[in-house]
């Protein structure tokens, strides 16, 4: 098992996906699960202020996610929301879910079960994988990058669909909100920190492959 955490734009999704391909492991994007639950509560017309209803929407969600790095999809309550979870509306509201401890506990339990279900082993990425979801992983890594590098990367991913203010909201404001319950800016004991500001994706992947070989 490999656990990767980091803030938005640190490169953890692309890194984890490439690593899963290289090492023949499953890939779990835990942020996609928080996003899928967000789509479900917005669809159901639940108010972002109604904590009880948000918890019910989370624990009651019929959630399925692919662990195949080359065939990524996520479904909630029978609906494919693979594209919708990337829309600005979802990103704007997702911290509503990630800030509620009972919602986190429900998703963490699902994430552990998903990781354990993959016979190849799994690489999971998120904010609390190294500390809460899978602290026993063989390799635990915190990816960091300067704010400038993170804004540039997320901007590249989102393209012309967002303006500068929206981009800052998706990176800086969301990280501030998300870090209220979870620390993903400093490495916990035993977690290796890798500052990727001046590294290319393939350099990051190569260095983690080397670390994975050392821990074998
Ligand atoms: O990695 P991402 O941007 O897709 O994550 C979406 C949101 O989910 C993010 O705002 C924080 C939250 N999240 C979390 O709290 N814990 C995780 N393990 C993964 C994501």
> For atom 20 of ligand 1, which residue has the closest CA?
31
pLDDT tens, residue by residue, 192-205: 999 999 999 999 99
Q: Is 85 helix (H, G, I), strand (E, B) or coil?
A: helix
List, in order of start, the domains of the chain with CATH numbers: 2-215 (3.40.50.300)
How confident is residue 169, by pLDDT bands cut at 50, 70 and 90? confident
Provide mean pLDDT across the span 85-100: 93
Residue 5 Cα, ligand 1 centroid: separation in angstroms?
A: 10
Element (H, E) at 26: strand 26-29
Mutate to test the pocket of ligand 1, among 98, 153, 174, 184 (most ligand atoms within 8 A of CB): 98
């Amino acid at each position: 098992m490999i656990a990767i955490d980091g803030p938005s734009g640190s490169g953890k999704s692309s890194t984890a996906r490439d690593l899963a391909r290289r090492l023949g492991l499953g890939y779990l994007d835990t942020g996609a699960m928080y996003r899928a639950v967000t789509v479900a509560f917005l669809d159901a017309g639940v108010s972002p202020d109604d904590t009880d209803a948000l918890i019910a929407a989370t624990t009651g969600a019929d959630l399925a996610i692919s662990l195949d790095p080359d065939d990524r999809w996520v479904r909630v309550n029978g609906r494919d929301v693979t594209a919708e979870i990337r829309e600005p509306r979802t990103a704007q509201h997702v911290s509503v879910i990630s800030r509620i401890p009972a919602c986190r506990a429900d998703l963490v339990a699902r994430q552990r079960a998903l990781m354990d279900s993959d016979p190849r082993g799994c690489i999971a990425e998120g904010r609390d994988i190294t500390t809460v979801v899978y602290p026993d992983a063989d390799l635990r890594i915190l990816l960091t990058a300067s704010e400038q590098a993170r804004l540039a990367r997320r901007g590249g991913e989102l393209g012309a669909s967002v303006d500068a203010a929206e981009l800052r909201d998706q990176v800086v404001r969301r990280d501030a909100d998300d870090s209220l319950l979870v620390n993903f800016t400093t490495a916990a004991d035993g977690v290796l920190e890798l500052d990727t500001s001046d590294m290319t994706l393939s350099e990051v992947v190569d260095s983690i492959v080397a670390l994975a070989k050392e821990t074998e």
